[in-house]
Amino acid sequence: MSSNTSISVQGVCKSYSLYGKPIDRLKQFFPFQNKTSRKQFHALKNINFSIGKGEVLGVIGRNGAGKSTLLQLICNTLLPTTGSISTKGRISALLELGSGFNPQFTGRENIFLATAIQGYSKEETLQKLDEIIDFSGIRKFIDRPAKTYSSGMYVRLAFSVAINVDPDILVIDEALAVGDAEFSRKSFERIMQLKEAGKTILFCSHSLYQIESLCDRAIWLDEGEVKADGIPADVVSAYTNSTRDEQPTEKTTDNYKKTDRATAYINKVEAYSSNTDNGLLSIQSGEDSLTIDIHYYCNPDLPTPSIAPIITLIDQQIITGTSSHIDNITVKPSSDGHGKVSITFPRIPLLKGHYGIGAYLFCEKGIHVYDFVYNAATVIVSQNSLEQGLVHLEHVWNID
Amino acid sequence: MIKDYFFPLSNRRLIRQFTIRDIRSQYQGSIIGIGWAFLTPLLMLAAYFFVFRIAFNNRWPSENDSNINFALQIYTGLIIYNLFADSLRQAPRLIVSNANFVKKVVFPLETLSWSVALSCSFHAVAGLFTLLILSVASQQSLPIALISLPLVVGSMFPLMLGLVWLVSALGVYIRDTTQITSLIIRVMLFLSPVFFPVKILPESIQPWLYLNPIAPVIEQTRHVILDGQWPDWSIVATSWLISLVVAYLGARWFNFVRKGFADVL
């Protein structure tokens, strides 16, 4: 393992034997047991990769592809059946919501428990204690038993511990979507800080957008094998292409399988201004128009979806968002389910600043969210007047 | 590897935290609080005293057959027996109920056994403390032999560690362990010299009772506290030897089968 490698995974396989009873597992320890054929389930097959120090790696794949198993192996909670894994530095893991917690303990005690498990001394924890409590935002309840916490509070505390203990390696399993918008924004910021501080981060997520925006590299796992490994944009598009390719064949198979797969998603969100120049999307406030193209896929068996473009602040607060449902527009995907809508905002009334473009894909009633994307493009608005704020409102002065 | 089981220096914080938590949680919110640690054994003693001394009119075969001596003889037996029973009672579900620590985080599972043994020891120390006060008060003397008490009772500690490792690991694979253990605990109350001294048994049976590892500890503790005599060092040494062997085997067993915990929990 070279000095720059932080995690090295070599020839790792993990298979689970499906035991009828726990005692069968015990018998397996003893050589005189006649080897009856057990059912084997191969969660991971010959996985090889290494992660350099300071790299941010995203793992994507369908449910059951082996993502969580891989992360658990790296955190050493599971042992590989064959192969070896070596890691360098302290690992802070958030594998499941509040997994290292004891519900009987108070929040404060749980902080000490979780950090002690990770091998931090009491002094180190005391130094970080205020930071952890403040970050979690549950100071009022910190001396109450964790079992009295709402699930949101529980997760926030767990997350706060995991990312504030100054780990060398941070492993996160689909936990980024925790808490309210405010908390998840804070979490992202903290993770970006860790990334800038040169920490190795490994996480898996179903939010492909997160993978693309956060990671330097992505790995696509499919049925226990590495299907692709490389630049996130390439890996993500290969992955989305594969889910798309499989869609038509699914029509013929049974209905249950369909729910496993992405039924509708946003492919691409693009923004143009009437004033196009050199790729950067700069717009003159009150003069140029802004056009947002949203490419989407919706399983043809589903009712026609509705689509909502949004304009946000960089921290994801929505400034405006309308939808085809609100405006009584019916979108028309082609027969294979793909489609594109385009919306134009003439003489954009936004004032100077950076804004994010995003989109939501809803069901036909505008209730269930299939997919969403934030900050797919950034527009830079400049203005000539000194008007203050985010947006120009039509106004009339009255002077008596 | 096994060394970490016996000298868990790097995990001492965890062990301390779990132990304190365990003790505190037993009394949290109760009015008498930690007083229960002293009150419970005394109340149990009163009940046994009533049954064996008043109802059955038993006698204790020693020159001092006062009521207080009889009560203290039983009390000594109970303290040692409870140390054994309390730790064993928690063992079968120890790992099962902490499945999170097996599957979700890297946790030194062997330390759970330490916490159990330590929190049970806390109660035993509280009991011994009460016993000493009562004994010194009733005998009006403070024998020098009392300083050997930690050595005499101390042999219980590795025994408990080993048993908890043994039983907790077994409990993961065989769920009947809970039932079997609770049966053993109940039977052991009567197969240990708690309500009687070993010497009232027929000569032919006496050696058999010493197959019970806590029997010599009970006898020697009585010898030190109630008779004010030095213990029989060869018996104390044998107890330590047996305890350490049990602890070693327990640790080896635990370490051997723990690899499969995550597969069945």
Give the residue-averaged pLDDT of B161-165.
96
pLDDT in the model for residue A119: 75
pLDDT in the model for residue A176: 57
DSSP H or E segment with residue B70? helix B67-90
Least confidently predicted of A90-99, B79-88, B152-161: A90-99
Query: Each residue of A168-189: pLDDT tens digit?
Result: 888 887 755 566 667 777 777 7
Q: What is the DSSP letter of B175?
A: T
Q: State whether A173 and A29 are in the same domain.
A: yes
pLDDT category, B93, cuts 50, 70, 90?
very high
| Separation between Cα atoms, residue A350 and residue B27, nearest integer Å | 62
Q: State whether A205 and A100 are in the same domain.
A: yes
Residue written as token pair 């779990």: B18
Does A400 fall in a domain? no
Which letter, b or e, does each residue of B130-146 get, where b requires 16 or more Cβ atoms within 10 Å of its Cβ? Answer: bbeebbeeebeeebebe
Q: State whether A302 and A351 are in the same domain.
A: yes
Does A334 fall in a domain? yes
Q: State whether A260 and A237 are in the same domain.
A: no
Partnered with residue A361 across adjacent β-strands are A307, A371
Q: State whether A41 and A133 are in the same domain.
A: yes
Question: What is the dihedral sign for C-alpha A113, A114, A117, A118?
Answer: negative
Instruction: Write the residue in B105, B175, B264 that is nearest to A117 by C-beta.
Output: B105
Partnered with residue B174 across adjacent β-strands are none
Q: How many domains does chain A have?
A: 2
Q: State whether A199 and A140 are in the same domain.
A: yes
* A·B CB contacts under 8 A: 75
Does A121 fall in a domain? yes
Q: What is the DSSP letter of B16?
A: H
Please tell me which residue of chain A has the smallest CA distance to B21.
A105
Query: Each residue of A110-146: pLDDT tens digit?
Result: 888 888 877 788 888 898 899 999 988 889 999 998 8
CA B106 to mean position of chain CA atoms: 29
Contact of B145 with chain A, judged by CB distance below 8 Å, is answered with no
> Of the residues A181, A210, A243, which one is the last residue of a structural domain?
A243
Q: State whether A24 and A162 are in the same domain.
A: yes
**Is A16's CB within 8 Å of B263's CB?**
yes
Q: State whether A330 and A182 are in the same domain.
A: no
Give B256's contacts in chain A (Cβ within 8 Å): 29
**Is B260's CB within 8 Å of A25's CB?**
yes
pLDDT in the model for residue A275: 67
Instruction: Give burial (CB, 10 Å; 0-12/13-18/19+) of B216.
Output: buried
Higher pLDDT, A185 or B102: B102
| Separation between Cα atoms, residue B263 and residue A17, nearest integer Å | 8
3-class SS of residue A133: helix
Q: State whether A101 and A47 are in the same domain.
A: yes
Does A45 fall in a domain? yes
* Contact (CB, 8 A) for A9 and A85: yes
| Separation between Cα atoms, residue B128 and residue B231, nearest integer Å | 17
Instruction: Give burial (CB, 10 Å; 0-12/13-18/19+) of A37.
Output: exposed
Closest CA to A97 of B105, B34, B27: B105
| Separation between Cα atoms, residue A100 and residue B101, nearest integer Å | 6
* Contact (CB, 8 A) for A84 and A35: no
The whole-angstrom distance between A71's CA and the closest CA on chain B is 10
pLDDT in the model for residue A252: 35
Residues of chain A with pLDDT under 70: 1-2, 32-38, 96-99, 175-181, 243-262, 275-280
Please tell me which residue of chain A has the smallest CA distance to B103.
A77
Share of chain B above pLDDT 70, in %: 100
pLDDT in the model for residue B222: 93
Contact of B97 with chain A, judged by CB distance below 8 Å, is answered with no
Q: State whether A227 and A130 are in the same domain.
A: yes
Cα angle A119-A123-A124, degrees, rounded to a multiple of 5: 55
What ipTM is given for this predicted complex?
A: 0.71
pLDDT in the model for residue B88: 95
pLDDT over 90 at B217, yes or no = yes
| Separation between Cα atoms, residue A10 and residue A288, nearest integer Å | 54
The first and second tokens of residue B201, run together, are: 């048994």
Does A398 fall in a domain? no
Does A390 fall in a domain? no
E-state strands within chain A:
5-18, 39-52, 56-60, 82-87, 91-94, 169-173, 200-204, 217-222, 225-230, 264-273, 281-284, 290-298, 306-312, 318-321, 338-345, 353-362, 369-382
Higher pLDDT, A237 or B112: B112
| Separation between Cα atoms, residue B107 and residue B91, nearest integer Å | 17
Q: Which domain holds residue A229?
A: 5-243
3-class SS of residue A24: helix
> Of the residues A243, A274, A303, which one is the last residue of a structural domain?
A243
**Is B259's CB within 8 Å of A79's CB?**
yes
Residues 15-74 of chain A with CB under 8 A from chain B are 16-17, 19, 22-23, 25-26, 28-29, 72
Residues 173-212 of chain B with CB under 8 A from chain A are 173-175
Identify the CATH number of the domain in which residue A113 sits.
3.40.50.300
Partnered with residue A39 across adjacent β-strands are A18
Give the residue-averaged pLDDT of B37-45.
83
Does A306 fall in a domain? yes
Q: State whether A123 and A32 are in the same domain.
A: yes
Best A18, A40, A77 member to test B by mutation, with max B CBs in 10 Å, is A77
CA terminus-to-terminus distance, chain A: 80
Closest CA to B5 of B240, B248, B245: B248
Does A251 fall in a domain? no
User: In 10 A of CB B219, how many CB atoms?
Assistant: 24
pLDDT in the model for residue A279: 55
Q: State whether A108 and A189 are in the same domain.
A: yes
User: In 10 A of CB B176, how many CB atoms?
Assistant: 11
pLDDT in the model for residue A244: 56
Identify the CATH number of the domain in which residue A335 sits.
2.70.50.60
